A = this chain, B = another copy of it.
């Protein structure tokens, strides 16, 4: 007898499958104010691991964490023309505080370039104060009319880096460094996503930037998600906020800046990239629960053994949860952990104890086999490494097999509409072609150089546009 699917199958309705999974795996709920979300403990556990892995990489670049205020005077946003144009339609505005109408309304930060520059202009005096490398972990609000949990929410959590440098070259190189060493490294080695690094077109650039670098990931339905971006801001904000330094030569010079961000939308992308019809599959290096040890039934020696195995695996350096909630039927708990995508289940019942074994169930490749209890701690690390590599290989295989090389705009639209990516020479597409794609809800995700590297200019010869539908 075929089992009733717990989730809408992906092939039937991918967006519905996503929504089902987010709810049933207890990742998040919709909030009461339009477009906001509640991140539930299992979803937040994923975010905590993302934070820990990213934060270590951010600190390795020499960047320090700080915290800037949530509320920004409305007038700050208007100082950089492109910036205000980009963000004005998305702002949440505080008009009353402490029972009174405010003299100047405050916006809830949609991003912090303006308020950061207000302080950079005070803190930076001379070349000795540069580079200034700051990051913050914070919430931001961008009013969202078509919300989708994690992917598009009116409030989301993120990190935003803000740096100031003495020269254009240093700023450019730092943006690229963060992009490669923080974002790409994290996305590949921890999230197991075969992302494509590239450069945004002028149309897709961050409001106020002179260049935006991006990492694009392919989801299970062939659409794209922008995973993280790193911007060269040139001197746009420095000019608006007079962020200047005294050079070695004794001249007042504007600083050159970068900003870079990644958000809780990475959780949504994780689901869409690695999930299957049974639920989420969490890459072992990311997982806050790598192994769940389940008691099959309420039996004193089973419970004792389950706890003891949990302790032993923890001592071996694994992240372990013991599930001894035997008042809930075993089958339901097994399905729940499958939905949540915990890489390995270790199931122990009375018969297993007799044999001195446990049933080891692997979520990522699928399949189960008995393993001697005293072998668990030694075999699991290798299994988790294998599964991590498998997810990355599947991500690469999907991207390669579903990316078409095309030479006309029509072919590009066709490929994207069929659920895939297309690569088309930028010289063929151009900004006019980009507008035509937009009529079909297809966008240029990024420009890449012929050799796969990130181009130094939009119009560098040989540039290829990667186009797709996107979340």
Residues in A lying within 8 Å of B, measured CB to CB: 29, 31-34, 36-41, 43-45, 47-48, 64-73, 76, 88-99, 106, 108, 115, 118-119, 122, 128, 134, 138-139, 141, 143-145, 154-155, 157, 325, 327-328
Contacts and interface: CB of A to CB of B under 8 A. Distances in A.
A96 B88 contact: no
A72 B41 contact: no
B99 A88 contact: yes
Given A89-B99, A115-B32, A69 B134 contact: no
B71 A36 contact: yes
A121 to B, nearest CB: 12
Contacts of A99: 88-89, 91, 143
Given A69-B155, A96-B95, A64 B38 contact: no
Contact of A119 (B29, B43, B134): B29
A327 B127 CA distance: 11
Given A69-B155, A70-B155, A76-B32, A64 B41 contact: yes
Contacts of A70: 36, 70, 108, 139, 141, 155
Contact of A139 (B119, B122, B138): B138
Given A39-B66, A139-B70, A98 B91 contact: yes
Nearest to A139: B70
Nearest to A48: B65
Nearest to A115: B32
B92 A94 contact: yes
Top 6 A-B pairs ranked by shortest CB distance?
Answer: A98-B143, A41-B64, A36-B69, A31-B69, A39-B67, A93-B96
A38 B65 contact: no
Given A66-B38, A139-B139, A155-B71, A93 B95 contact: yes
A65 B92 contact: no
Nearest to A328: B128
A325 B143 CA distance: 45
Contacts of A144: 98
A38 B69 contact: yes
A44 B32 contact: no
Contacts of A68: 31, 38
A89 B98 contact: yes
A192 B88 CA distance: 47
B91 A65 contact: no
A65 B45 contact: yes
Contacts of A95: 93-96
A38 B71 contact: no
A327 to B, nearest CB: 6
Contacts of A71: 31, 33, 36, 92, 141, 154-155
Contacts of A69: 31-33, 36-38, 155
A135 to B, nearest CB: 9
Contact of A38 (B89, B92, B119): B119
Contacts of A155: 69-71
Given A31-B71, A36-B69, A108-B108, 14 more contacts: A33-B106, A38-B68, A44-B66, A70-B70, A70-B155, A90-B98, A91-B96, A91-B99, A92-B94, A92-B96, A92-B106, A128-B327, A138-B139, A139-B139
A154 B94 CA distance: 13
Contacts of A97: 34, 91-93, 143, 154
A93 to B, nearest CB: 4
A15 to B, nearest CB: 22
Contacts of A118: 32
A73 B31 CA distance: 10
A39 B95 CA distance: 24
Contacts of A72: 32-33
27 contacts: A31-B69, A32-B69, A32-B115, A36-B71, A38-B68, A39-B66, A44-B67, A45-B64, A45-B65, A47-B67, A67-B157, A70-B70, A70-B139, A70-B155, A71-B92, A71-B141, A71-B154, A71-B155, A89-B98, A89-B99, A91-B96, A92-B106, A95-B96, A98-B144, A98-B145, A128-B325, A138-B139
